[in-house]
Amino acid sequence: MKRIPSNRPFFPNRSEFDKLVDGIWERKWITNQGDLVTELEKKMGDFLEVPHISFVSSGTTGLQLALKCLPEKGEVITTPFSYPATTNAIIQEGFTPIFADILPGKLTVDPAVIKSLIGPKTAAIMPVHVYGNNCDTDAIDEISGEFNIPAIYDAAHSFGARKGGKSIFGKGDFSVLSTHATKMFHTANGGFVVCKTAQDRQRIDRLKNFGHNGPNTFELPGINGKNSELHAAMGLCNMMHANAILEKRKNQWAYYRDALQKQTGIELLQLSDEAGYNGAYFPVIFKSADLCRKAIDEGVKRQIELRKYFSPSLNQLQYLDYQVCPVAESTASRTCCLPLYHEMERAEQDRVIALIASL
Ligand SMILES: Cc1ncc(COP(=O)(O)O)c(C=O)c1O
């Protein structure tokens, strides 16, 4: 029986990649804002419909760079239902994470809870478009405007996501995309920081390059958050297939949804904008943690990898003081993502559907 992994990176044609790599060898330029990085930033900006965008070494670094742009340290209101990268970026930059519980079903942060947690120490809001499901950006941007607190969206999963017919990357002060190999669109490792203004983009560009603003002048205490020509080459190859990747993913997603709705009573993600959803992940929410464990064990027997993504709920991370978030804790204990990747075939999806239906 062929093993079904939870995820598998998209591989462009080797010849497409080789052609771009030949150019790197000819130019003898491998990092520090080479031609391919500049071209990828332009193409990604066009794809995401945003003018100010910077290619960085990872999504996590992107979150950290955006946080470095804040004028003061303090508390960052965020969601407990995410990958630890979100919370860890906040901690690494010297801020305190404050967790606002999530909306059941949609799994994105509850704007009413965000509002209730705003205080004199609030430095920013960092919501996550969970599994590519847009959070309530209208409510969050309104809160951000009312209290004059920047919103940094963790848009790690949001490649191609739209809201009301427009790219979700137009929202907030910053949005950070991950292009790690496990993401629907990837650059092997990497990420993009989308900025609201040209000044912020310039700041991110300097911060990701040690703070240089000239060959021997340093304006800011920056880091090495740049990405390379080799990663940009992978991104440019994948960009040639971006629309096909998105379209196929949406079809695979709809296939799972239709079959699971017909054959099982399992709870599925409530999409905030169905037409604009990118199909990034397919989470299923079991009735209990026991049932979720049983599904994972049964998957092991059938060579199907179900991934508990995200668990634990981040308010329960052992290195943090505990904050109460009952919805996220319960959801994290009984949610897992079904295998989903570009090359996945219908027959493989059918095996996964049969597994869930058998429980
Ligand atoms: C929600 C979320 N935010 C941030 C990240 C970090 O992205 P990266 O792996 O590119 O650092 C991830 C990684 O998977 C993620 O799932």
Structure tokens at 261: 């709705």
140 CB within 6 A, ligand 1:
no
Structure tokens at 121: 């120490």
Encoded amino acid at 283, one letter: P
For range 106-130, the mean pLDDT: 98
Q: What is the pLDDT of residue 102?
A: 98
Domain boundaries, the chain: 14-239, 242-357
Q: What is the pLDDT of residues 134-159, one digit of tens each?
A: 999 999 999 999 999 999 999 999 99
Among 196, 160, 199, 198, which residue's Cα sits nearest to residue 179? 160
pLDDT tier at 47 (50, 70, 90 boundaries)?
very high
- The protein residue whose alpha carbon is closest to atom 8 in ligand 1 is 59
Would the pLDDT of 184 be above 90? yes
182 Cα: distance to centroid of ligand 1 (angstroms):
10
- The protein residue whose alpha carbon is closest to atom 14 in ligand 1 is 83
Q: What is the pLDDT of residues 290-315, one digit of tens each?
A: 999 999 999 999 999 999 999 999 99
62 CB within 6 A, ligand 1:
no
Q: Determine the Cα–Cα distance for residues 63 and 156; give it in Å rounded to an integer.
A: 10
9 Cα: distance to centroid of ligand 1 (angstroms):
15
pLDDT tier at 277 (50, 70, 90 boundaries)?
very high
Q: What is the pLDDT of residue 345?
A: 97
177 Cα: distance to centroid of ligand 1 (angstroms):
8
Buried b (16+ CB within 10 A) or exposed e, 267-302: bebebbeeebbbbbbbbbbbeeeeebeebeeebeeb
319 Cα: distance to centroid of ligand 1 (angstroms):
19
Percent of the chain with pLDDT over 70: 100
For range 335-340, the mean pLDDT: 98
Q: Determine the Cα–Cα distance for residues 7 and 342; give it in Å rounded to an integer.
A: 9
Around Cβ 10, how many Cβ atoms within 10 Å? 21
Phi, psi (degrees; rounded to nearest 5) at 96: -105, 125
Phi, psi (degrees; rounded to nearest 5) at 166: -120, 155
Q: Determine the Cα–Cα distance for residues 221 and 66; give it in Å rounded to an integer.
A: 13
80 Cα: distance to centroid of ligand 1 (angstroms):
14
How would DSSP label each residue in 295-340?
HHHHHHHTTB--B--S-S-GGG-TTS-----HHHHHHHHTEEEEP-
- Catalogue the E-assigned strands of the chain: 53-56, 75-78, 96-99, 122-126, 152-154, 162-163, 166-167, 174-178, 191-195, 212-214, 217-218, 267-268, 282-285, 335-338
Q: Which residue from 55, 56, 78, 83 has its CB within 8 A of the most atoms of ligand 1, so it is best to mutate?
A: 83
Q: What is the pLDDT of residue 260?
A: 98
Q: Which residue from 159, 174, 180, 192 has its CB within 8 A of the most atoms of ligand 1, so it is best to mutate?
A: 180
For domain 242-357, give the CATH number.
3.90.1150.10
84 CB within 6 A, ligand 1:
no
The second-level CATH assignment, the architecture, of 14-239 is 3-Layer(aba) Sandwich (3.40)
22 Cα: distance to centroid of ligand 1 (angstroms):
30
Q: Determine the Cα–Cα distance for residues 60 and 9; give it in Å rounded to an integer.
A: 19
- The protein residue whose alpha carbon is closest to atom 7 in ligand 1 is 59
pLDDT tier at 233 (50, 70, 90 boundaries)?
very high
Q: Determine the Cα–Cα distance for residues 287 and 270; give it in Å rounded to an integer.
A: 16
For range 246-263, the mean pLDDT: 98
Per-chain mean pLDDT for the chain: 97
Would the pLDDT of 1 be above 90? no
158 CB within 6 A, ligand 1:
no
Predicted structure pTM score = 0.98
Would the pLDDT of 60 be above 90? yes
pLDDT tier at 210 (50, 70, 90 boundaries)?
very high
pLDDT tier at 121 (50, 70, 90 boundaries)?
very high
pLDDT tier at 161 (50, 70, 90 boundaries)?
very high
Which atom of ligand 1 is least distant from the CA of 154? Answer: 3
Q: What is the pLDDT of residue 214?
A: 92
For range 92-103, the mean pLDDT: 98
Buried b (16+ CB within 10 A) or exposed e, 232-246: bbbbbbbbebbeebb
309 CB within 6 A, ligand 1:
no
59 CB within 6 A, ligand 1:
yes
